[in-house]
Structure 1
Amino acid sequence: MLNHIIVVEDDPNIRNIVEAYLKKEGYRISVAETAELALELAEKEVPDMWIMDIMLPGMDGYALCNKIRQTSEVPIIIISAKDEEIDRILGLELGGDDYLTKPFSPRELVARVKRLFKRWNPQTQPDMQAAVKQMDLEAGDLQLHLGERRVYWHEEEVEVTAKEFEMIVILVQNPNRAFSRDELLTQVWGEDYFGSDRAVDDLVKRLRKKMEGIPIETVWGFGYRFRMDEE
């Protein structure tokens, strides 16, 4: 099945151009002029990628990006007239995978779409599941079922995103080892990720919120480790 992309853009000219170029490349495209409408479209068919403007009527692109990242790790490309560094950093820290400033070349957008899909396609990059042994991991009150990608905390299943799962597996497989933020950024997001390492802090914060008391310790000024007391 062709990859499905939702394009969220309130400018009809830009929306139509983006839709035409992506359809020409063989993608299935759904378009929306507001974030609210886009979320309705996503409920009917989950997209494989989002392309969104920041300045939208109603819910803006930052809020939409943040909402998507609560449940999904699919690629997000942000397109915006805001070209200040702080705007790019904010967009990436909220979960965007790429940031394109208006005006932009439709061909450049297509190239970035292809690059992201290549990075995220499990057939063209090493799959995290293939890199770990297909067995369950247990660390105190935490159980990880690698084959099913399920997480249990105090015997209760916890819903986690793909990146949350990858992060916790890396930490649990290396108990008491301190990982720098850069190491975690590379292992979870990939070597070509160019966002801030605050993305690591945000991911750890989400894991701690979902699993209160999980022994992920902050190594101040460096990174994080999963504390396991030796018997």
Structure 2
Amino acid sequence: MDQTIGLVEDDANISDIVIGYLSKEGYKVNAMETAEAAWELFEQDPPDLWVLDLMLPGMDGYEFCKKVRQTSEVPIVIISAKDEELDKILGLELGGDDYLTKPFSPRELVARVKRHLKRWEVMKPENTPPSDHIKAGRLTLNIAERSAYFREREVEVTTKEFELLRILAEQDNRAFSREELLVQVWGDDYFGSDRAVDDLVKRLRKKMHDLPLETVWGHGYRLRVNRGKS
């Protein structure tokens, strides 16, 4: 096993425990006490998964999570003493894939890390089998390259943004519920609210201003394509 975990935790005792358990499972752990140090690692040699505390000196975990999600969908498992529901929702909406409240079981953390790494190996662009392009109006998706083009201009998208576009483009004009999209993009065991879908849609609309990604009020979203137009 050559997978690497980035651990961002300023409590030395917790850090030592997490390092011990993850190392026993064969993972290489890069431990940091600040989000600033973690960001340097992200830019130079990003790990396969992050274990992230929220309450950090300087840049907090929320801001770090938000910055990572601008360009990457690498799994982020949040560990935090913040146990209020709003804290959990915010952490997940900003891009966290999972949330464990301190004190937590180290064995449970290991189990969740394994699950997210397994899913990430399937989702990673380089592990996606080649196939044809998908075209929906002015949107074109290259499945093999995991790239998106809108109005003949390439748009940088994350893995989850691409998956959402693919689902909508494959069945354009169909209205998908938020629950459907949540399950198809994040998996049926995702712990979080369907607001994560809304956040993904906001990001895509910001990147592609004229994308006909419509809100179906009280239900979800659809990609509207007028036949005969390009």
TM-based fold match above 0.5: yes
TM-score category (smaller protein): over 0.9
One of 134, 137, 143 as aligned partner of 2:140: 143
Whole-angstrom CA distance in 2 between matches of 1:133 and 1:100: 36
SS at match of 1:212: coil
Shift of 1:40: 0.6
State yes or no: 1:193 paired with 2:204: no
Q: How many Å separate the matches in 2 of 1:131 and 1:40?
A: 28
C-alpha displacement of 1:115 = 2.0
Aligned-pair CA distance for 1:190 = 0.6
Q: TM-score, normalised by structure 2?
A: 0.93
Q: Which amino acid aligns with 1:137?
A: I
Q: Judging changes above 3 Å, is the alpha-carbon distance between structure 1 residues 132 and 228 closer, same or farther for their aligned structure 2 residues? A: farther
Corresponding residue of 2:90: 90
Q: Flag the 1:2–1:205 CA change in 2: closer, same or farther, 3 A.
A: same
Percent identity for Structure 1 against Structure 2: 64
Q: Is the 8 A contact 1:128 1:166 kept in 2?
A: no
CA distance in 2, matches of 1:132, 1:222: 32
Structure 1 gaps of 5+ residues are none
State the secondary structure of the residue aligned to 2:215: strand
User: Relative to 1, partners in 2 of residues 1:129 and 1:218: Cα closer, same or farther, differing over 3 Å?
Assistant: farther
1:141, distance to aligned residue in structure 2 (A): 2.0
- Specify which of 202, 224, 228 is matched with residue 227 of structure 1: 224
Separation (CA, whole Å) in 2 of partners of 1:158 and 1:77: 27
Q: Which residue of 1 aligns with 2:36?
A: 36
Provide the C-alpha distance between the structure 2 equivalents of 1:121 and 1:130, rounded to a whole number of angstroms.
7
- Residue matched to 1:164: 161
Instruction: Report if aligned partners of 2:125, 2:146 keep a CA contact under 8 Å in 1.
Output: no
**Quick one: distance in 2 between partners of 1:200 and 1:106?**
30
The alpha-carbon deviation at position 133 of structure 1 amounts to 8.1
Deviation at 1:224, TM superposition (A): 0.5
What is the alpha-carbon root mean square deviation over aligned residues? 2.0
**Structure 2 letter corresponding to 1:230:** R
- 1:38-66 CA-to-partner distances (Å, cap 9, x unmatched) read 11112221111000111000111111111
Deviations, residues 139-173 of structure 1 (Å, cap 9, x unaligned): 23221111111111121111100111111111111
Counterparts of 2:129 and 2:114, CA distance in 1: 27
Among 191, 205, 209, the alignment partner of 1:208 is 205
**Match 2:175 to one of 174, 178, 181:** 178
Q: Does 1:73 align with 2:73?
A: yes
CA, structure 1 residues 36+107, in 2 after alignment: closer, same or farther (shift >3 Å)?
Answer: same
Distance in 1, matches of 2:17 and 2:172, equals: 50
Moved more, 207-216 or 108-117: 108-117
Length, aligned pairs only? 228
Unaligned runs of 5+ in 2: none
Aligned residue for 2:114, secondary structure, equals helix
SS at 1:121 equivalent? helix
Moved over 4 A (4+): 126-133
Which whole-Å CA distance do the structure 2 matches of 1:27 and 1:37 have between them?
20
Query: TM-score, normalising length from structure 1?
Result: 0.93
Q: CA deviation at 1:105?
A: 2.1
